[in-house]
Amino acid sequence: MKNKVVYLGASNRETKSSATAEISEIYAGFSRRLNLFIDASDIDAPSMNDGRVSFIADLLNVSRPAVTDWLSKNKPPKETTIFEIVYFFLKHMDAGEDILPARVASWLRYGDEVSPCPFRVEQDEIVYQELIPLAASIIANEAKTLGLGAASYDLEKVLKLTVQTLADFELRESNRIKEVHRLIIQQHIKSHIR
């Protein structure tokens, strides 16, 4: 085995000149979980398309850009702010006083794989119901693009598939729908022509 001489000064300069990577502050699914948590409370918050960002910003006395990050960009707030949000919404939940805020904060940030959902709610049903208006609007537009009327395809099946597509891609606002999503939804329509 050969002896290698390591020049620490050269290695140090090389390390300092290398590009650095920021630690990501994006947590996959955070926005979906926070929206579910809000929906599980007795606060009558509007949907994302009907002013939820402004409503939550006013309710919590925080900036709209911050709330946009939380509710649609998977960027959670600082830990202290997460706990403030958790304490606030737990006060507005049935049996919220029996739920540990730390469990909710962990679930919000890391998801079911690390911390199971700490409150009983039919998450899939809430997401499904919230996405139906957006899905129906997109289906109508894409069917029109394809030159198809509502009676020419199985709307129930297409709606279910479209809602699932929107949920899978965590799309809750029409302005986040890209061409590739529209093509997928068009394929759902074409696959269920009567």
Q: What is the pLDDT of residues 61-113, one digit of tens each?
A: 999 999 999 999 999 999 999 999 999 999 998 777 788 899 899 999 988 77
Side chain identity at residue 18, one-letter code:
S
**Within a domain: residue 4?**
no
* pLDDT at 167 (0 to 100): 81
Domain residues for 67?
Answer: 30-110
Mean pLDDT value across residues 42-67: 90
* Dihedral pair phi/psi, residue 193, rounded to 5°: -70, 140
User: Does position 122 have pLDDT exceeding 80, yes or no?
Assistant: no
Same domain, 102 and 174: no
- Mean of per-residue pLDDT scores for the chain: 83
* pLDDT at 8 (0 to 100): 56
SS3 193: strand
Same domain, 106 and 144: no
Side chain identity at residue 15, one-letter code:
T
* pLDDT at 70 (0 to 100): 93
Mean pLDDT value across residues 165-182: 87
3-state helix, strand, coil in the chain (%, to 5): 65, 0, 35
Distance in angstroms (rounded) separating the CA atoms of residues 32 and 185: 21
Same domain, 101 and 138: no
Global pTM exceeds 0.75: no
**Within a domain: residue 66?**
yes
Same domain, 84 and 61: yes
Same domain, 166 and 102: no
User: Does position 20 have pLDDT exceeding 50, yes or no?
Assistant: no
Same domain, 34 and 106: yes
Cβ 26 vs Cβ 73: under 8 Å: yes
**Within a domain: residue 11?**
no
**Within a domain: residue 14?**
no
Same domain, 139 and 187: yes
User: Does position 18 have pLDDT exceeding 60, yes or no?
Assistant: no
Q: How many domains does the chain have?
A: 2
* pLDDT at 16 (0 to 100): 54
Same domain, 63 and 92: yes
**Within a domain: residue 105?**
yes
Among 89, 110, 131, residue at a domain's last position = 110
Closest CA to 157 of 126, 131, 188, 184: 188
User: Does position 22 have pLDDT exceeding 50, yes or no?
Assistant: no
pLDDT tens per residue across span 132-167: 899 999 999 999 999 999 899 999 999 989 988 888
* pLDDT at 124 (0 to 100): 60
SS3 155: helix
* pLDDT at 97 (0 to 100): 77
Mean pLDDT value across residues 186-192: 93
Q: Can you read off the two tokens belonging to residue 84?
A: 């403030």
* pLDDT at 168 (0 to 100): 77
* pLDDT at 144 (0 to 100): 94
Among 110, 132, 153, residue at a domain's last position = 110
Same domain, 88 and 128: no
Same domain, 103 and 79: yes
Among 110, 132, 154, residue at a domain's last position = 110
* pLDDT at 23 (0 to 100): 44
